[in-house]
Amino acid sequence: MTSIVHADEAGFFGAHGGRFLPPQLEAPIAEVAAAYAEARNDPEFMAEYEALLSDYVGRPSPLFLAERLTKHFGGARIYLKREDLNHTGSHKINHCLGEVLLAKRMGKTKVLAETGAGQHGVALATAAALLGLECEIHMGAIDIEKQHPNVVRMELLGATVVSVTDGGQCLKDAVDSAFGKFATDWEDTFFAIGSVVGPDPYPTIIRDFQSIVGREMRAQILAKENRLPDVLIACVGGGSNAMGLFTAFLEDDSVRMFGVEPGGKNLDVVGEHAATMTLGSPGMLHGMKTMLLQDSAGDPDAVHSIASGLDYPAVGPQHAHLKDIGRVQYVTASDDETLEAFQLLCRTEGIIPALESAHALVQMAKLAPTMGPDEIIVVNLSGRGDKDIDYVAEKIRG
Ligand SMILES: *Cc1c(COP(=O)(O)O)cnc(C)c1O
């Protein structure tokens, strides 16, 4: 049996996880695993990481009691963990700084990654600029066209953006391209994954660097309420912000947890949602065993979400395990519900959330009215929505 918090020695969380690699990537990933095993136990490394979190990112992020939202639903007290207030506007900077610090410790001069919508690329380019490493981001040609502002940001931050013109010219092709480059360049390059996904030890590395969110929140809620929350809610793409919020509470049975997946336009049509936990099956992708939306040949399905940070056909292996053992409930929020929750938060609290984070607000809106005023919900507000306003305005008008 694996522990509820940690992977076993082979990198498995129950039936999920592991390290499934082509031979040319075995040595480079083994090197990452060995380096992280040392770094995580080095107080100096962790102190450097924590100093950056406070002085550069601006942590601790506030835990905010949303009073007007609470009144609106007339039930549980609703708190928002404000990851949107981090430098660069989301939780992603937490793990990107950790990964670039690890790369530097390993003597690497460059970090390499793929990006879909560009959010991971921007956070990584930021951390690389700060710590003086080169940064190369592979991005599908179609995504480059769609996400122009993020391409500009990455280039301003000194990163090289490589346009991938193979296949469908989207995230999946960018992943293949970046892994290909890593296989030849690994002696001076660190591969920086953007969520709690990929081969062991990445799901553990990214989770550990995100777990600051839940540790901080635990101290904050105890100071404000003198007790633990009843419900935690986070959106799930790959699952890093959710693992960040959940990890410090996994062994507290009284705390219920919800991961919210993108229900998209239609759960009944392949390609119109990204509800991996709800509709997927066990499979293999990006070096891990996990829940996957796949066709009969085991190839990943096309996916859709109104929030580009959530349109991934798989999910981190620890989430798949937490579902198997019933510790976390996984639910969906549709595009339409998400748009409604997005606007509600703007008007009741003066906070424009990321469309990703607005998925978590949908589940909050369903639960809060069913709970009492002495109960507490904490929602991870994983990012700010400035990036989404043009798209949302168009949707509301159209
Ligand atoms: C990327 C992103 C997500 C989804 O990633 P996870 O790994 O599932 O957390 C969620 N919210 C925001 C704001 C993002 O940028």
Q: Determine which residue's CA is closest to atom 13 belonging to ligand 1.
A: 383
Query: Taking residues 47-62, what's their average pLDDT?
Result: 98
Active site residue 181: no
Instruction: Check residue 174 and give its pLDDT.
Output: 92
Higher-pLDDT residue of 161 and 167 is 161
Instruction: Check residue 28 and give its pLDDT.
Output: 97
Catalytic residue among 90, 99, 108, 114: 114
Residue type, 346: C
Query: Taking residues 140-146, what's their average pLDDT?
Result: 91
Split at pLDDT 50, 70, 90, the class of 146 is: confident
Q: How far does the centroid of ligand 1 lie from the alpha carbon of residue 319, in Å?
A: 14
Query: 28-32, 156-160, 306-310: which range is least confident on average?
Result: 306-310
Query: Taking residues 302-306, what's their average pLDDT?
Result: 94
Q: Which token pair is 391?
A: 């798209």
Q: How far does the centroid of ligand 1 lie from the alpha carbon of residue 236, in Å?
A: 7
User: Candidates 196, 205, 212, 241: which one to mutate for ligand 1, based on the most atoms within 8 Å of Cβ?
Assistant: 241
Query: Taking residues 15-37, what's their average pLDDT?
Result: 97
Q: Is residue 169 pLDDT above 90, yes or no? A: no
Instruction: Check residue 168 and give its pLDDT.
Output: 84
pLDDT in tens, 216-265: 999 999 999 999 999 999 999 999 999 999 999 999 999 999 999 999 99
Distance set, CA 42 to CA 46, 95, 108, 211, 345 (Å) = 6, 17, 18, 17, 41
Query: Taking residues 318-333, what's their average pLDDT?
Result: 98
By the 8 A CB rule, do 383 and 90 touch? Answer: yes
Instruction: Check residue 170 and give its pLDDT.
Output: 82
Instruction: Check residue 1 and give its pLDDT.
Output: 46
Active site residue 387: no
Q: Please name which of 1, 6, 4, 3 lies closest in space to residue 203, comparing C-alpha atoms.
A: 6
What is the residue-averaged pLDDT of the chain? 96
Split at pLDDT 50, 70, 90, the class of 3 is: confident
Query: Taking residues 199-210, what's their average pLDDT?
Result: 98
List of long-range contacts for 37-45, beta carbons under 8 Å, 24+ apart: 37/201, 39/102, 39/105, 40/208, 45/101, 45/105
Residue 217 phi, psi (nearest 5): -65, -35
Query: Taking residues 135-146, what's their average pLDDT?
Result: 93
Q: Determine which residue's CA is closest to atom 1 belonging to ligand 1.
A: 309
Helix (H, G, I), strand (E, B) or coil at 113: strand
CA distance 311 to 237: 7
Active site residue 394: no
pLDDT in tens, 110-126: 999 999 889 999 999 99
By the 8 A CB rule, do 247 and 258 touch? Answer: no
Split at pLDDT 50, 70, 90, the class of 5 is: confident
146 φψ region: left (φ > 0), alpha (ψ -120 to 50), beta (else): alpha
Query: Taking residues 180-190, what's their average pLDDT?
Result: 96
Query: Taking residues 78-106, what's their average pLDDT?
Result: 98
**Which residues have C-beta atoms less than 6 Å from ligand 1?**
90, 92, 119, 195, 235-241, 309-310, 354, 356-357, 382-383
Instruction: Kindly tell me the burial class for residue 267, based on how many C-beta atoms sit within 10 Å of its own C-beta (0-12, 13-18, 19 or more).
Output: middle
By the 8 A CB rule, do 113 and 192 touch? Answer: yes
Instruction: Check residue 238 and give its pLDDT.
Output: 97
Query: In percent, how much of the chain has pLDDT > 70?
Result: 99
Catalytic residue among 195, 240, 308, 382: 382
Q: Is residue 2 pLDDT above 70, yes or no? A: no
Buried b or exposed e, range 134-149, using 16+ CB within 10 angstroms: bbbbbbbbbbbeebee
Query: 58-62, 152-156, 386-390: which range is least confident on average?
Result: 386-390
User: Candidates 81, 88, 91: which one to mutate for ligand 1, based on the most atoms within 8 Å of Cβ?
Assistant: 91
Split at pLDDT 50, 70, 90, the class of 374 is: very high
Considering the entire predicted model, what is its pTM? Answer: 0.98
Q: How far does the centroid of ligand 1 lie from the alpha carbon of residue 374, in Å?
A: 30
Q: Determine which residue's CA is closest to atom 2 belonging to ligand 1.
A: 309
